[in-house]
Amino acid sequence: MAKKAAAKVSSIALHGFEPYKEKKGEEYMNEKQREHFKKLLYAWKQELMEEVDRTVTHMKDEAANFPDPADRATQEEEFSLELRTRDRERKLIKKIDSTIERIEADDYGFCDQCGIEIGIRRLEARPTATLCVDCKTLDEIKERQLTGN
């Protein structure tokens, strides 16, 4: 019984979406696949936008001028962390928007460097991916060589 529940949970992808099930002989990045990824990206963007709204509300509600400097510092640090997170999410929203544009331009799902298919499973894991696994790996190796990490 526990295995069935675990299998069901693991079969659900990001944002409550079921992973795309490819049919044998199906053309890569057909209309159905593009629509699946577009819905996934819109849902992801909506979640991020809702998080922004929650942060604004939280910061308005929780903002207080504590008399104790340590309490003030704690609150400022908390707000700073939240704002940094929202800034990263703002950049992710821009990336999601550009990915949606790529879908609409029929340029989605293919590697920017070598032009081969990125693959449904990789796009399920990272819908904004623009490089295939091989090119991304090479980029990371080059970066490590340049930075020495």
Nearby residues of 129 by Cβ (< 8 Å), 6 or more positions away: 118, 122, 123, 136
pLDDT in tens, 15-65: 577 888 888 889 999 999 999 999 999 999 999 999 988 888 878 777 777
Backbone angles phi, psi at 110, to 5 degrees: -120, 140
Asked if 86 contacts 55 with a C-beta cutoff of 8 angstroms, the reply is yes
Question: CATH top-level class for 28-108?
Answer: mainly alpha
Instruction: Indicate the pTM of the whole model.
Output: 0.78
- pLDDT at residue 15 in the model: 58
pLDDT in tens, 85-109: 999 999 999 999 999 999 999 999 9
Q: Which helix (H) or strand (E) holds 115?
A: none
CA pair distance 112, 34, nearest whole angstrom: 17
Share in percent of the chain as helix, strand, coil (round to 5): 70, 0, 30
Sequence spans of domains, the chain: 28-108, 110-149
3-state secondary structure at position 110: strand
Asked if 94 contacts 41 with a C-beta cutoff of 8 angstroms, the reply is no
